[in-house]
Structure 1
Amino acid sequence: MLSVPGSTGTRYRYRPDATVVSMTATSTVEAPALRRVPWLLTVILTGQFMAILDVSIVNVASPVIRADLGTSGSGLQMIISGYTIAYAMLLITGARLGGRYGGRRLFLYGLAGFTAASLACGLAVSAGQLVAFRLLQGAGAALMVPQVLSMIQMNFEGTARARALSLYATVISGAAVAGQVLGGVLVSADLYGTAWRPVFLVNVPIGLGLLVLGARLLPADGPVRHRPLDLPGLVTLSLTVSLLVVPLVLGHEQDWPLWGWAAMAASVAFAGVFVLMERRAAAPLVPLRILRAPGVVTSALAVFGVMATYGGFLFALALHLQGPLGDSPLRAGLTFVPAAAAFAVVSLNWRRIPERLHRRMIIASFGLAALGYLGLALALGGGGHGLPCLWVALAVTGAGLGGAFSPVLAVALTHVAPEDAPDTSGLFVMVTQLGQVVGVATFGTLYLSTGSITGAAVALAVTALATGACALPLLRRR
């Protein structure tokens, strides 16, 4: 069932018999608006794809950017990581603004800001400019991305929602790999002597097209709740996230300085302050009723584990392929295709398994992912590419992660009321992003410190098993 706007502004419900029934009238009408239904996912998931793509696409171009702009190591790190820092820090804010002013409006505003910042990045003439524009690009993504999950939660129900969440998961996995492949292609092509600039400029025509389609075809926002923004909570949470993310992102590059450890310790203190403030807030950022909904906290931990291992896996293996094994960025990116393809296939087809087995499938999928990571350790333990065993291990890993991510989101959203969709979206999108950041920092540092892809892969397997154990409460149906 899908809500779509009528020509008079009345909200309608989509039924499988291809008619639309007014929620305020008894008459059944044909629905020209139904032609807009496929465009909802097309527009919002393409926006999601671009936002995730920009996390990884710049990594491939970093050596060329450094040579062209003459930036320092720390400056290059800020060019790469500034996007992630702003993105992670502002996600909850973006979700709350979407709940206050409407998801459609905030998605389009965020998309416009992201597109404009991408153009500015592509035209930057100094490292300082590029850092500033990357921060703005991350802020635009933070306004846009939380609305995607929110609009799925608010506009889809039942099997339609499960299908939409499967596509959502597929986009997340595919964009992370596509960024490395596309980055390698664009930098290698050196179109008209533009070197690294197309990795940013590629977003501009796509973003402009989405703005036109989104303005015409996205369903109108329903009634919004004009709750207070809880500015003290927003500021405290933003400080908490930034104090955690900044040292995690920059720590290894700067050999884990004292300020980084102090900042992470401070983030724990600020987290405590945030919890105390939220208990007294009239309109908390994450209402307790959401956290008390069956499966939400456990599902959030599971999502964190999936994205931490996936992010760490992509980062550590990319370093190993382009370092000791001497692969080009393009070849390294293509190596991940079996994992992304398996993630997509499982994400799109897990609903074919009987519903009574979905929660068990989540637990089993973490075990499958752990098996894939152990296979990765065995395939690469001999010092070569370990083909074709590497491809098999990658496919098993992707299948395991795909079998956990989509179902766990569906379970989490089952007991969340539509009016709580923006806040729930902000929570899960932030958990997803923080999981990736923590995974890259943890497993990337482990690999860089030891030089052992085998050790990193075993650590990934142990983490996947531990996350599966933490998800066991999901087996208790409510």
Structure 2
Amino acid sequence: MTTTTSPAPAGSTPAPSKAPGTDNRRGRFLAVVLAAQFMALLDVFIVNVAAPTIRTELHASGAGLQLVIAGYTITYAVLLITGARLGDRLGHRRMYLVGLAVFTVASLACGLARGAGELTAFRLLQGAGSAVLIPQVLSLIQRNFVGEARVKALGAYSAVLATGAAAGQVLGGVLVSADLFGTGWRPVFLVNVPVGVVLLLLAVRVLPRDDAAERAAGRARGLDLPGLVLLGAAVSLFTVPLVLGEEEGWPLWSWLSLTAAALLFALFCAYESRLARRGGAPLVAPRVLRTPGMGLAVFRVTAVMAANAGFLFVLTLHVQGGLGHSALRAGLTFAPTAAVFGLVGLTWRRWPQAVQGALIPGGFALTAVSTAAVGLLLRDGGDGGLWLYGAFVGVGAGLSLGFGPTLTRALATVRAEDAADASGLLATVTQLGQLTGVACFGALFLNRLESQGGSGAYSSGSALLVCCYALSAVAVLGAVSGLVRMPR
């Protein structure tokens, strides 16, 4: 494992920072792009706690409610790579503004929706806006920050990524409980509108203009429409059963869909390799996939995101379903994990050089121990006492150490001209990791709960323990991968 914390793209001269020179200006630039990232991530989770109210007020069926919740995630995951490529061709600043505008307008439409059908359609549009917006964040950071400034920016990015899930549940619980002016669930969407408008106004002033030469180079590469279609179909077939399969009882179509996704993904890889050999412009540049350490980074990011999302999801099911606590209390339960994840993500690079090489395997090992401790402390249906908060802190610190250094060191060797490819790839992996974690660990929890014939605190605690052991196993795999040294 390399111990350097000052990344510079290998094989190329680092692009000069195009962010305006003063620290204050650079700070505003980073705050604007990360605020949009946080808002879009928040919307993945904020609607969950509003689901019962939405179902009652809009008279939505079970399937309709699933689509309201999952529609955002489906289009978001499917279109992420496309959003990254559009940024490369049309300009990252421009597509950031377009994605933010679409997301903001769709949020307003969601808040004013009169029925479940309308709300589902606008949620799909919201997800599309996020898919255009989110890849630009990493690309803008990668192209406008170098050296230690990039390391710090990526640390802030990691912190935002981690805290969005917990913050979404907390804010959703607050807004639904407040029932502002009798609007019920609508503020969970409408809250995005003023924030989005302010960010648009600030972004126009703060973000540097796109470089004409970079846009020309992006257009020269082409869009690879066949690759987009193949990858979009593969991700769709993978995503839909993950978000809907558990609720439907994993019917035959869900397994056929997952099988077809694997086949289409293999076909996509074969097509992309052939296109590259013929001198074409594949959707993801092969040199990005061959970047030293990128394969390990993809595995580790997937493991961290699956563990993070799975842990939050099954703990939510236990706290709300098994213990009967409110959505707000469930959201506040995650506060220690989210806060420590963010704090460690912002500070790990300042830790002694002697420990830098051990951060990733040590982080995964800490996650393994801490998740098992959470399960053991809650297995009898109790509140876990003060020791539980220590375990939550361990989970947050461990996941942050597994994620932050991995992301920073992987992007350290990516060429500036490949920023869009790397951003789209890692953003997609992040999203698919979260979906996989929720689907797999959620299914394990619910199946164990059902097998014990009850939904009380004791049965729920027992199911949680099994899930925590499984989460620990994933973290152990991450720790083993962390022992492999990533090339400089």
What TM-score, normalized to structure 1? 0.93
Displacement, 1:471? 3.4
Shift of 1:215: 0.7
Deviation at 1:36, TM superposition (A): 2.5
Q: Which position in structure 2 is the counterpart of 1:26?
A: none
- 1:76 paired with 2:87, answer no
The one-letter code matched in structure 1 to 2:101 is A
Which residue number in structure 2 is paired with residue 25 of structure 1?
none
**What is the SS of the residue equivalent to 1:221?**
coil
Q: CA, structure 1 residues 230+191, in 2 after alignment: closer, same or farther (shift >3 Å)?
A: same
Letter in 2 for 1:254: E
Correspondence 1:42 to 2:39:
no
Tell me how far apart the structure 2 counterparts of residues 273 and 320 of structure 1 sit (CA, whole Å).
40
Is the contact between residue 302 and residue 429 of structure 2 (CA under 8 Å) also seen in structure 1? yes
Deviation by residue 1:19-50 (Cα, 9 ceiling, x = unmatched):
x8xxxxxxxxxx6x764221111111000001
Provide Cα deviations, 1:81-134, integer angstroms capped at 9, x if missing partner. 100000000000000111111111101100000000000000000000000000
Match of 1:8 in 2: none
Instruction: Please report how far the alpha carbon of residue 430 of structure 1 lies from its aligned counterpart in structure 2 after TM superposition.
Output: 0.3
Using the size of structure 2 for normalisation, the TM-score is 0.91
- Distance verdict in 2 for CA 1:477–1:423, change over 3 Å: closer
Q: 1:408 to 1:190 in 2, by over 3 A?
A: same
Question: Which residue in the other structure is 1:204 paired with?
Answer: 193
Please tell me whether the aligned partners of residues 111 and 144 of structure 1 are also in contact (alpha carbons under 8 angstroms).
Answer: yes
Task: Give the superposition deviation at 1:467.
Answer: 1.9
Counterparts in 2 of 1:377-388, with a 5 A limit? 377-388=375-386
Identify the residue that residue 215 of structure 1 maps to in structure 2. Answer: 204
1:122 equivalent in alignment to 2:111? yes
1:427 and 1:355 map into 2 onto residues whose CA distance is: 30
Residue 10 of structure 2 corresponds to: none
Whether the aligned pair in 2 keeps the contact of 1:36 and 1:218 (CA below 8 Å) is no
- Asked if the contact 2:292/2:486 (under 8 Å) is kept, the reply is no
Question: How far apart are 1:355 and its partner, in Å?
Answer: 4.2
Aligned partner of 1:462 in structure 2 is 473
Tell me, what secondary structure is at the counterpart of 2:248? coil
- Once the two structures are superposed, residues 371-413 of structure 1 have per-residue CA deviations (whole angstroms, 9 ceiling, x without a partner) of 1101101110121111212111111000000111110011101
User: In the aligned structure 1, how far is the partner of 2:127 from the partner of 2:170?
Assistant: 21
Offset at 1:256?
0.4
Taking the TM superposition and a 5 Å limit, the aligned residue runs for 1:34-433 are 35-222=24-211, 223-224=214-215, 225=217, 226=219, 227-281=221-275, 282-355=280-353, 357-433=355-431
Deviation at 1:354, TM superposition (A): 3.6
Aligned in 2, Cα 1:14/1:108: closer, same or farther, shift over 3 Å?
Answer: closer
Gap change, CA 1:432 and 1:329, over 3 Å in 2: same
CA contact (8 A) 2:18 2:145 kept: no
Q: Aligned equivalents of 2:338 and 2:329: distance in 1?
A: 15
- Once the two structures are TM-superposed, the CA of residue 183 in structure 1 deviates from its matched residue by 0.4
Once the two structures are superposed, what CA deviation does each residue of 1:221-247 show, in whole Å capped at 9, x if it has no partner?
122221210000001000000000000
Partner of 1:4: none
1:341 offset after TM fit, Å?
1.0
- The offset of 1:293, in angstroms, is 1.1
Question: Which whole-Å CA distance do the structure 2 matches of 1:57 and 1:199 have between them?
Answer: 7
Gaps of 5+ in 1: 2-10, 21-30
Decide whether aligned partners of structure 1 residues 428 and 446 sit closer, same or farther in structure 2, where only a CA change above 3 A counts. Answer: same
Which residue type is aligned with residue 457 of structure 1? C
Q: In the alignment, what sits opposite 2:458? A: none
Q: What is the CA distance between 1:356 and its match in structure 2?
A: 5.6
- Does the CA-based 8 Å contact 1:117-1:136 persist in structure 2? yes
Q: CA RMSD in A?
A: 1.6
**CA displacement, residues 328-376 of structure 1 (integer Å, 9 cap, x when unaligned):** 0000100001101110111111011244643321111000011110110
Q: Which runs of 5+ in 2 are unaligned?
A: 1-5, 7-14, 450-462
Inter-partner Cα distance in structure 1 for 2:487 and 2:270: 31
**Mean CA deviation greater in 349-358 or 41-50:** 349-358
Deviations 1:125-160 (A, max 9, x none): 000000000000000000000010111111111211
- Relative contact order, CA 8 A, sep 6+: which one is greater? 2
Partners of 1:50 and 1:203 within 8 A in 2: yes
Partner AA of 1:277 in structure 2:
Y
User: Which deviations, in whole Å up to 9, do the C-alpha atoms of 1:68-91 show, x marking residues without a partner?
Assistant: 000000100000010000000000
Alpha-carbon separation, structure 1, partners of 2:198 and 2:185: 23
Return the alpha-carbon distance in structure 1 between the equivalents of residues 23 and 351 of structure 2: 29
Contact conserved, 2:230 with 2:268, CA < 8 A, in 1?
yes
Shift of 1:279: 1.0
Are the counterparts in 2 of residues 368 and 397 from structure 1 also a CA contact under 8 Å? Answer: yes
Call closer, same or farther: CA 1:265–1:217 in 2, change over 3 Å: same
Residue aligning to 1:445? 443
Query: Which residue matches 2:3?
Result: none
Asked if the contact 1:57/1:183 (under 8 Å) is kept, the reply is yes
SS of the residue corresponding to residue 327 of structure 1 reads coil
Query: Per-residue displacement from partner, 1:418-475 (whole Å, max 9, x unpaired)?
Result: 00000000000000000000000000110011020000011000011112223332x2
1:154 and 1:169 map into 2 onto residues whose CA distance is: 17
1:229-286: CA deviation from partner (whole Å, max 9, x where unpaired): 0000001000000000000100011000100100000001001110111012211111
Cα separation, 2, equivalents of 1:476 and 1:333: 36
CA distance in structure 1 between the partners assigned to 2:141 and 2:106 by the alignment = 26
Kindly indicate whether the alpha-carbon contact (under 8 Å) linking 1:302 and 1:468 is maintained by their aligned counterparts in 2. Answer: no
Q: Provide the rounded CA distance (Å) in 2 between the counterparts of 1:415 and 1:433.
A: 22
> Any conservation in 2 of the 1:150–1:421 contact (CA below 8 Å)?
yes
Conserved? CA contact 1:359–1:407, under 8 Å:
no
2:389 partner SS: helix
SS at match of 1:252: helix
Compared CA separation, residues 34 and 392, structure 1 to 2 (3 A): closer
Give % identity: 53
2:247 match: secondary structure: coil
User: Is the contact between residue 95 and residue 146 of structure 1 (CA under 8 Å) also seen in structure 2?
Assistant: yes
